[in-house]
Amino acid sequence: MTSFQLRTGSPGARILAFGHYQPSNVVTNDDLAKTVETNDAWIQSRVGIKQRRLAGPDETVVDMAVQAGGKALANSGLSPADIDLVIVATCTQEATIPNASAQVADRLGIVAPGAYDVNAACAGFCYALSSASDAIRGGSARNVLVVGSEKLSQWVDWTDRSTCIIFADGAGAAVLGPSEETAIGPVVWGSAGDMASKIFVKDRNSFLFQEGQSVFRWTTTHLHAVAKEACERAGITPADLSAFVPHQANLRIIEAIARKLKAENAVVADDIVEAGNTSAASIPLALSRMIERGAVPSGTPALLIGFGAGMTYAAQVVEIP
Amino acid sequence: MALSDQEILSGLGDIIEEIAGVPAADVTPEKSFVDDLDIDSLSMVEIAVAAQDQFGVEIPDDELKNLKTVKDVVVYVQGKGVSA
């Protein structure tokens, strides 16, 4: 039997820096009420959103990923030549071919890295983060750029008031590098394919459909246990967390999971209020904005949990850079 | 042994206080969730999930929409023959 040479990686991996990008166009609830039958009070009470950002007609998933990725890279202190793997989590590209990650790398001056996209819907960033950490520890990459970038606005029916009030556009990114101690906890991930019909796009000519109440029930029933397990696997308790950053799906879901998690010392991300639901971008976008305004201390543990269409979910504890 | 109506009502009061912030003492049988207690459909789902954890009775969305008053829920849970 042939035995190949093994490649050894780093003992651990850590997030060196975050970065984010939001389109300039701010759309308020009152703006939406001009075109669909809805109002500010109803939207705020049901999903917690006050305003959202929407990309321009010519602004792509790749454009936003380049902006966020460039900021994360600058904040990390690394140069493009240091990055040897780029992963983009997205489910809303204009088309599926070619992938986003190779173009993002090229536009950032990262020459010939490994480059692939991840579609785990709104859980995508946590899946990509876990894959990046494993790549560093397994020796297949040294420094990794992970981006969540989404343009939901091009997959939403702007006459459907049940979805158009929720979804938005934006991007968030993180740069990961090797470390002696691991600062990215073990992932807890899974899926529920029997729930596939609850959130879907039928074909390339269709818009996003969501059965809101079923999704609300599923998330508020199952996800607090996943969140707690991610803490256990990292060897901490929810009380040790300084931040809880769930996917910004709906403020009511965030509050319900937080209530059951009982992370009494954690700042709970509520970026959805100003940013809307940006799918795979929402977690890095929220955490990057929290770091930027000094809302969370560096070097302390944050719990991330992504969940969405599939259904898919993934959670891990990370040390805030 | 099956739970009494009073035990279900008391448990429901605690659930509603935690989820919707309505004082448990205000959760009396004749109260309408929407009109009297100002509880919306999403909170009703959360209450149903918590009731399932506590009483072991699943209240699917199709049934939930027919439960208008506190008494409706007590009767539904009781009707499923829960044991303590």
- Given a cut of 80, is residue A1 above it in pLDDT? no
Q: How is chain A split into domains, by residue range?
A: 12-179, 188-319
Mean pLDDT, to the nearest integer, of A209-233?
A: 95
Distance separating alpha carbons of residues A217 and A187, to the nearest angstrom = 23
What's the confidence (pLDDT) of residue B81? 65
Q: What percentage of chain A exceeds 90 in pLDDT?
A: 98
β-pair partners for A81: none
**pLDDT tens digits along A89-100:** 999 999 999 999
* Contact criterion met (CB < 8 Å) for B45 and A46: no
Q: Give the minimum alpha-carbon distance from B45 to chain A in angstroms, rounded to a whole number.
A: 6
Mean pLDDT, to the nearest integer, of A119-130?
A: 98
Domains A12-179 and A188-319 share a fold: yes
- Given a cut of 60, is residue B84 above it in pLDDT? no
Distance separating alpha carbons of residues A272 and A166, to the nearest angstrom = 9
Q: Which domains does chain B have, with CATH numbers?
A: 5-79 (1.10.1200.10)
Using the Cβ of A298 and the Cβ atoms of chain B, whether some distance falls under 8 Å is answered with no
- Given a cut of 60, is residue A152 above it in pLDDT? yes
Using the Cβ of A35 and the Cβ atoms of chain B, whether some distance falls under 8 Å is answered with no
**pLDDT tens digits along A43-70:** 999 999 999 999 999 999 999 999 999 9
Q: Find the closest chain B residue to A42 by CA distance.
A: B40
Q: What is the ipTM of this complex?
A: 0.83
Nearest to A173 by CA among A153, A199, A143, A152: A143
**pLDDT tens digits along B3-17:** 888 999 999 999 999
* Contact criterion met (CB < 8 Å) for A220 and B40: no
* Chain B residues lying within 8 Å of A45, measured CB to CB: 40
Checking DSSP bridges between strand A188-191 and strand A312-319, what pairing results, if any?
Answer: antiparallel
Q: Give the minimum alpha-carbon distance from A26 to chain B in angstroms, rounded to a whole number.
A: 27
Q: Find the closest chain A residue to B59 by CA distance.
A: A217
What's the confidence (pLDDT) of residue A85? 98
Distance separating alpha carbons of residues B23 and A278, to the nearest angstrom = 36
- Given a cut of 60, is residue B1 above it in pLDDT? no
Using the Cβ of A262 and the Cβ atoms of chain B, whether some distance falls under 8 Å is answered with no
Mean pLDDT, to the nearest integer, of A237-248?
A: 98
Tokens 């940006």, located at residue: A278
Could you tell me which CATH number the domain at A188-319 has? 3.40.47.10
What's the confidence (pLDDT) of residue A2? 81
Please state, in angstroms and as integers, the Cα–Cα distance from residue A118 to each residue in A90, A124, A161, A249, A256, following that order: 6, 6, 29, 19, 28
* Contact criterion met (CB < 8 Å) for B49 and A220: yes
Q: How confident is the model at residue A5 (pLDDT cuts 50, 70, 90)?
A: confident
Mean of all residue pLDDT scores within chain A: 97
Could you tell me which CATH number the domain at A12-179 has? 3.40.47.10
Hey, how many other C-beta atoms are within 10 angstroms of the C-beta on B57? Answer: 18
**pLDDT tens digits along A165-190:** 999 999 999 999 999 999 999 999 99
**pLDDT tens digits along B36-72:** 999 998 999 999 999 988 999 999 999 999 999 999 9
Active-site annotation of A, residues: 122, 247, 277
